[in-house]
Structure 1
Amino acid sequence: MDMITPEPRPAWIAGQPEQGESTLVVRHPYDGSEVATVAVPGAGQVERAVDAAVAVAPALRRLPAHRRAAALDHVSRAIAARAEEIAEVITAENGKPLKWAEAEVRRAVSVFRIAAEEARRFDGDLQRLDTDPAGEGRLAITRRAPRGPVLGIAPFNFPLNLVAHKVAPALAVGAPIIVKPAPRTPLAALILGEILAETDLPEGSFSVLPLGNAETSALVTDPRLPVVSFTGSGPVGWSLADAAPRKHVVLELGGNAAAVVLADWPDIPGAARRIATFGNYQAGQSCIAVQRVLVERSVADEFVPALTEAVRAQRTGDPYDTEVDVGPVVDEAAAERIVAWIGEAVDAGARILTGGSREGATVEPTLLADVPVTTKAWAEEIFGPVLAVSVVDDAGAAFAAVNDSAYGLQAGVFTRDVSLAFRASAELEVGGVIIGDVPSYRADQMPYGGVKGSGVGREGVLAAMHDLTEERVTVFTGLDL
């Protein structure tokens, strides 16, 4: 898709399109071809964006709920109207197959719709205080107010929907937001800026700044931006938290998602196909893509061959081909790292059941067995189309293996046994347990986040709205209750 324009794509400074002091080139991960040139704002433009966010914060906080909701509704409808175009842009800048880009656009439509709905009903609580004698005649109203302007830092793997999860909750609660998209994938965020500019939100409510990672440091430490919401790698996220110790920091970091297949599951081949799909979707570049697979011994002889065939059936190629399942990873350096991790595991005793090679930035869908737990392919987030399968004796051993990880984002457990499902919910040290499916399932309205090395705080529209606000209490005195 040819997206090259005579001028660089503008940044959005306090709701207005502007050219920058420099540019960056966006390239298609599949073949390295130039997709677009994007304006990179200078220090003065960044300062104006922050000044505008601070200046508009009181007015945006007081903006009636119906106006905030109407703006969010407009964004949802406009994304839907431009769905085909935006999906092609996502595939161009990110390299994910078109069918997964289309799914991402549909999710973003839902995120803004859900945010509009929540904006209309995000209100407070009443509490009688006369439960004790000193509280006679008193009533408390608890409401939530924005903590202040938000800095939202988004990753490359979902260049629209993970930006939506920053922007929609912030605007729903009346908090201005400055979005810093990933330098590799700024185009979908810039289109979102175009759409936001069509609303009647006051000037300064949003900015989209395609900055390099180094230029973002000053924004992270700027005291005028009291909230930092970051999605990305663990080392970067924790360093941001260390750099801003007095800020409210939300971190959605990496994972090492496990899928557990227990003996009572009625459709073992179906579980294998589902796991193969969601170990390889987005080329494995999702923090809840399946990486570790734990199968109960009594069904392993049926499951492992089925999983091997299902992984082998995943089709690679040009991501614009609607039949392609697995596109390239973000760049050739990432592909080289993934294949090196596979080689390290093999050198340590792992077996390759299928895959294991790469062509350019495209890594062949890979399934490993007998992977030592100390190797990176098992213990770290590989962020590529690689699964590792291990046979365990029973559910207890499977759950212990899931927990034996520095990460804790989500886990999937294939079981129909209700008692095992509740046991998984109680024992697994993760932010979310998906019963009867892969850990890759996420509904955009549900709380989403992890424990341990997977971060702090929660996304999901309503959960994020709570995270971006703080409780404020008003006590009325002398009332006849």
Structure 2
Amino acid sequence: MIKGLFINGKEVESANTYAVIQSHTEEEIAQVADATEEEMQEAIDRAHEAFRKMKALTSNKRAEILYKAADLLEEEKEEFARVIALEACKPITAARSEVDRSVQTLRFSGEEAKHIAGEYIPLDAAKGGEGRDAYTIHEPIGVIGAITPFNFPLNLVVHKVGPALASGNTIIVKPAEQTPLSSLKLAGLFTKAGLPDGAFNVVPGEGPKLGKVMLEDSRIQKISFTGSPQVGKLIKSQAGLKRVTLELGSNSALYVDNSASDSLQKIAGKAVTGAFIYNGQVCISTQRIYVHEGMFEAFKQAFVEKTNELAFGDPLDDETMVTSLINKKSQERILSWIDEAVENGATLLTGGERKANGILPTVLTGIQSSDKVSCREIFGPVVILQPVQNHEEALQLMNESDFGLNAGVFTNNLQQALKIAHSLDVGQVLVNDVPTTRFDHMPYGGVKDSGYGHEGIKYAIKEMTRLKMISLNYCCF
């Protein structure tokens, strides 16, 4: 299969291609366009031209297109899920869930398209403002450049495309090199839904080369990036006056308090899912778990038992929970981090072994705070367990991180829950949920090295529009 670029409402051939490989079987899935700088420039040209049409569409029409796209995606759920499972090496059950979430995200976008509203401003509140009415409106900003990661190749694209189109902008997606097929397929679906040609373009290829074109072209009004802190900082340094949203790394922490001991088994099960779903290759994967010392041993035993029940296998098998990682480079990096922790005195409770191109679910305890598995984003099937004396110690350890995206706490003590929630230096706190929890309409953004700006449809739209005030002088002029 050969896939081209998607520009101006249709797929077009590219002079160069590269192979997309399924990491579990190491088989080639497709040859995909490896775009040049000139082809990215062509996409920007077409998106800029299409902006006039998009801006002129009524909010009702934009909503209708988004609803139609959601319906079409739902109809093709199994086909999209299979594409995700192949290109991202994601277990098919998780791939189906991603499609369901993407349908929901598009529908949220359609709803929000109808609710982009300003406010009335009483200018007569100021001296000399008599005889004037004023109000604000939110206008689309133009062409948006989106750079997306491999781990959610459909829903994280939709989280940028949906708000952009809902607010009347046009968009160019530069998907992750490993996972371009979902976004190319999605773009074709939007054409069927009636989106104006050029409003949604997909340009696969090398990130640094194509991202540079986006950053240097003044017609790109905003860059929305999801990826590593290193690349995010580089984009920020080169963006100039462009708007930028950065959703970067994390090493999400969870605290389990003694007051929740009656629910130990249930909490352990949720925490195992939060740590190992999609091999831990999730921005908000549960990486650090701090447990009150009064229930640590019991929790540790339950957690390890449930971890060992997880099925490792082919991503297309419905029974598979854990499979190969996105590439061998990730496998080698993660194994080296596990070895480092063990050499520094950590205890390996289970896992730590390579299997196919993945790693068996790994649980460590007795780690040092300076170990990479603790202080960096591991982005793999590894979790650390650590006992703490009380919630104050847990809070201190949870905040000892360069990241600040999500955090979770299980407790039946309301006062404690509120104190922790207000004191955690993160963007989202989940009480009685694992930090690997996201609903697609909630605000979602981090602090520190986790980036800034927000996704979540309503909140992303605010960052994709500009505020304009209009004053009417009805008294004298």
Separation in structure 1 between the aligned mates of residue 40 and residue 402 of structure 2, nearest angstrom: 36
The match for 1:235 is 230
**Equivalent residues of 1:80, 1:106 under 8 A apart:** yes
The match for 1:294 is 290
Separation in structure 2 between the aligned mates of residue 140 and residue 302 of structure 1, nearest angstrom: 63
The match for 2:250 is 255
Separation in structure 2 between the aligned mates of residue 223 and residue 328 of structure 1, nearest angstrom: 41
Separation in structure 2 between the aligned mates of residue 423 and residue 95 of structure 1, nearest angstrom: 40
The match for 1:365 is 361
- 2:461 aligned to which of 444, 448, 465: 465
Q: Deviation string for 1:36-67 (max 9, x for gaps)?
A: 11123333332221111112223311211111
Q: Structure 1 residue 173 and structure 2 residue 189: aligned?
A: no
Q: Structure 1 residue 384 and structure 2 residue 380: aligned?
A: yes
Separation in structure 2 between the aligned mates of residue 253 and residue 96 of structure 1, nearest angstrom: 21
The match for 1:96 is 90
Separation in structure 2 between the aligned mates of residue 50 and residue 444 of structure 1, nearest angstrom: 28
Separation in structure 2 between the aligned mates of residue 78 and residue 135 of structure 1, nearest angstrom: 51
**Equivalent residues of 1:19, 1:40 under 8 A apart:** no
The match for 2:323 is 327
Q: Structure 1 residue 210 and structure 2 residue 181: aligned?
A: no
The match for 2:442 is 446
Q: What is the CA-CA distance between 1:411 and the residue it aligns to?
A: 0.3
- 1:312 aligned to which of 294, 308, 311: 308
Give the counterpart letter for 1:78 in structure 2. Answer: L
Deviates more, 1:373-382 or 1:213-222: 213-222
Give the counterpart letter for 1:169 in structure 2. Answer: P
Change (3 A) 1:479 1:89: farther
Q: Secondary structure at the match of 2:3?
A: coil
The match for 2:391 is 395
Q: How many residues align structurally?
A: 474
Q: Secondary structure at the match of 2:471?
A: strand
Q: What is the CA-CA distance between 1:479 and the residue it aligns to?
A: 5.9
**Equivalent residues of 2:324, 2:355 under 8 A apart:** no
Separation in structure 2 between the aligned mates of residue 162 and residue 363 of structure 1, nearest angstrom: 25
Q: Structure 1 residue 61 and structure 2 residue 55: aligned?
A: yes
Q: Secondary structure at the match of 2:294?
A: helix
- 2:241 aligned to which of 240, 246, 250: 246
**Equivalent residues of 1:26, 1:185 under 8 A apart:** yes
Name the TM-score, length of structure 1 as normaliser: 0.96
**Equivalent residues of 1:332, 1:360 under 8 A apart:** no
Give the counterpart letter for 1:353 in structure 2. Answer: L
Q: What is the CA-CA distance between 1:145 and the residue it aligns to?
A: 1.3
Deviates more, 1:211-220 or 1:118-127: 211-220
Q: Secondary structure at the match of 2:396?
A: helix
Give the counterpart letter for 1:109 in structure 2. Answer: V
Deviates more, 1:172-181 or 1:138-147: 138-147
Separation in structure 1 between the aligned mates of residue 365 and residue 402 of structure 2, nearest angstrom: 21
Give the counterpart letter for 1:298 in structure 2. Answer: G
Structure 1: 5+ residue stretches without partners? none
**Equivalent residues of 1:159, 1:181 under 8 A apart:** yes
The match for 1:50 is 44
Q: Secondary structure at the match of 1:388?
A: strand
Deviates more, 1:141-150 or 1:373-382: 141-150
Name the TM-score, length of structure 2 as normaliser: 0.97
Q: Secondary structure at the match of 1:121?
A: coil
The match for 2:432 is 436
**Equivalent residues of 2:41, 2:213 under 8 A apart:** no
Deviates more, 1:289-298 or 1:303-312: 303-312
Q: Secondary structure at the match of 1:134?
A: coil
Q: Secondary structure at the match of 1:21?
A: coil
Q: Secondary structure at the match of 1:267?
A: helix
The match for 1:268 is 264
Over aligned residues, Cα RMSD in angstroms? 1.3
**Equivalent residues of 2:19, 2:31 under 8 A apart:** yes
**Equivalent residues of 2:251, 2:288 under 8 A apart:** yes
Separation in structure 2 between the aligned mates of residue 9 and residue 464 of structure 1, nearest angstrom: 30
| Identity between Structure 1 and Structure 2 (%) | 37
Give the counterpart letter for 2:314 in structure 1. Answer: D
The match for 2:5 is 11
The match for 2:345 is 349
The match for 1:131 is 125
Q: What is the CA-CA distance between 1:84 and the residue it aligns to?
A: 0.4
Separation in structure 2 between the aligned mates of residue 85 and residue 118 of structure 1, nearest angstrom: 28
Separation in structure 2 between the aligned mates of residue 193 and residue 16 of structure 1, nearest angstrom: 8
Separation in structure 2 between the aligned mates of residue 43 and residue 387 of structure 1, nearest angstrom: 41
- 2:410 aligned to which of 387, 403, 414: 414
Deviant stretches of 4+, over 4 Å: none
Separation in structure 1 between the aligned mates of residue 429 and residue 133 of structure 2, nearest angstrom: 39
Q: Deviation string for 1:236-295 (max 9, x for gaps)?
A: 111111111321110000100011101111301111111111100010001101000010
Q: Secondary structure at the match of 1:242?
A: helix
Change (3 A) 1:474 1:280: same
**Equivalent residues of 1:316, 1:362 under 8 A apart:** no
Q: Structure 1 residue 374 and structure 2 residue 361: aligned?
A: no
The match for 2:274 is 278
- 1:144 aligned to which of 138, 147, 171: 138
Separation in structure 2 between the aligned mates of residue 218 and residue 149 of structure 1, nearest angstrom: 13
The match for 1:117 is 111
Separation in structure 1 between the aligned mates of residue 256 and residue 323 of structure 2, nearest angstrom: 27
Q: Which runs of structure 2 are paired with 1:183-198 in the superposition (5 Å)?
A: 183-198=177-192
Q: Secondary structure at the match of 1:310?
A: helix
Structure 2: 5+ residue stretches without partners? none
Q: Secondary structure at the match of 1:204?
A: coil
**Equivalent residues of 1:407, 1:454 under 8 A apart:** yes
Q: What is the CA-CA distance between 1:33 and the residue it aligns to?
A: 0.7
